[in-house]
């Protein structure tokens, strides 16, 4: 009998402790709010990134590779003649793999060459130069040299947006926004660009349709937990 009384006392003690802890957790949850927000900054586009795709096909792997190397050297010489600095030209390694086209079997090489064009007004002329010299498999993208500044501004805008959203929800609930408990921040690093033809936001300027004032939307995402007070 004495043992049963001790067991019962322990169960009641543990049960009371668990109820208090659960009540505290519920109370803390009810007094906070979590906001997901995205901030955006429109960065001016002041660069064009060209991605030129090189490829050669031949039934013999060594011949395909050699022809590709000749094409690569030709493009490099062409760009240097056009006044491009070597630092503005980058290339991936050449890849080669078996291919079959209709009844032809052989080997195909592939390589991507990136060209950075700092004067966006030369966008049209660059396309003409590439096509005139046999390079017709390429894409052009607007980019910005102010990526760091643009991301910082987008982050500030995200914080402001999160605060506004929290205040709207708190006011509707009869509460006020208190201090920040925590902030979670995720970002996507890498080059900032948009497709020149479709994705960029453009405004026509004086001087013709090919002269664009283009901006690139740069976004940052955050999650903020605020306390709520009466």
Instruction: Name the CATH superfamily, with its identifier, for domain 48-139.
Output: Protein of unknown function (DUF541), domain 2 (3.30.70.2970)
What residues does 138 pair with on adjacent strands? 52
| Residue 190 dihedral angles phi and psi, to the nearest 5° | 130, 180
- The answer to whether 59 and 104 have CB atoms below 8 angstroms apart is yes
Identify the DSSP state of 121.
G
Q: Which two tokens stand for residue 59?
A: 């039934």
Q: What DSSP element (H or E) covers 5?
A: helix 2-30
CA 156 to chain centre: 17
Q: For the segment 134-185, what is each residue's pLDDT rounded down to a tens digit?
A: 898 998 888 888 889 999 999 999 999 999 999 999 999 999 999 999 999 8
pLDDT of residue 124: 82
Show pLDDT as tens, one digit a residue, over the chain (230 residues). Answer: 444 443 434 333 434 333 333 334 434 446 899 999 999 999 988 888 889 999 999 999 999 999 999 999 999 999 999 888 889 999 999 999 999 988 899 999 999 999 998 887 788 888 888 898 889 899 888 888 888 999 999 999 999 999 999 999 999 999 999 999 999 987 766 555 555 443 344 343 444 444 556 788 999 999 999 999 98
- Nearest CA to 40 out of 213, 172, 206, 194 is that of 194
Give the residue extent of every domain in the chain.
48-139
Q: Specify the pTM.
A: 0.62
d(CA 19, CA 24): 9
pLDDT at 15: 41
β-pair partners for 117: 48
Q: How far is Cα 217 from Cα 214, in angstroms, rounded to an integer?
A: 10
> CB-side exposure of 203: number of CA atoms within 13 Å?
6
The pLDDT value recorded for residue 170 is 94
**Of the candidates 143, 150, 225, 142, the residue with the CA atom closest to the CA atom of residue 187:** 150
- pLDDT at position 125: 85
Task: Give the 3-state secondary structure of residue 31.
Answer: coil
C-alpha of 99 from chain center: 33
- Residue 69 sits at the vertex; the CA angle it makes with 67 and 72, to the nearest 5 degrees, is 115
- The whole-number pLDDT of residue 101 equals 87
């Amino acid at each position: 009998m004495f043992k049963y009384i001790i067991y019962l006392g322990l169960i009641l003690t543990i049960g009371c402790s668990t109820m208090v802890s659960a009540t505290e957790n519920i109370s803390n949850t009810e007094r906070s709010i979590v906001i997901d927000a995205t901030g955006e900054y429109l960065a001016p586009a002041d660069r064009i990134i060209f991605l030129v795709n090189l490829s050669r096909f031949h039934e013999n792997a060594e011949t395909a590779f050699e022809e590709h190397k000749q094409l690569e050297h030709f493009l490099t010489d062409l760009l240097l003649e056009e006044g491009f600095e070597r630092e503005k030209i980058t290339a991936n390694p050449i890849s080669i793999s078996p291919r079959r086209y209709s009844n032809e079997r052989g080997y195909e090489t592939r390589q991507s060459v990136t060209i950075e064009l700092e004067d966006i007004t030369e966008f049209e002329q660059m396309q003409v130069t590439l096509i005139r010299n046999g390079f017709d498999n390429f894409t052009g993208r607007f980019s910005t040299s102010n990526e760091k500044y643009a991301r910082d501004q987008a982050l500030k805008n995200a914080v402001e947006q999160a605060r506004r959203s929290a205040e709207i929800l708190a006011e509707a609930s009869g509460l006020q926004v208190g201090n920040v408990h925590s902030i979670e921040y995720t970002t996507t690093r890498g080059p900032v660009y948009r497709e020149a033809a479709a994705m960029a936001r453009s405004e026509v300027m004086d001087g013709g349709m090919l002269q664009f004032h283009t901006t690139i939307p740069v976004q940052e995402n955050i999650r903020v937990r605020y306390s709520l007070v009466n």
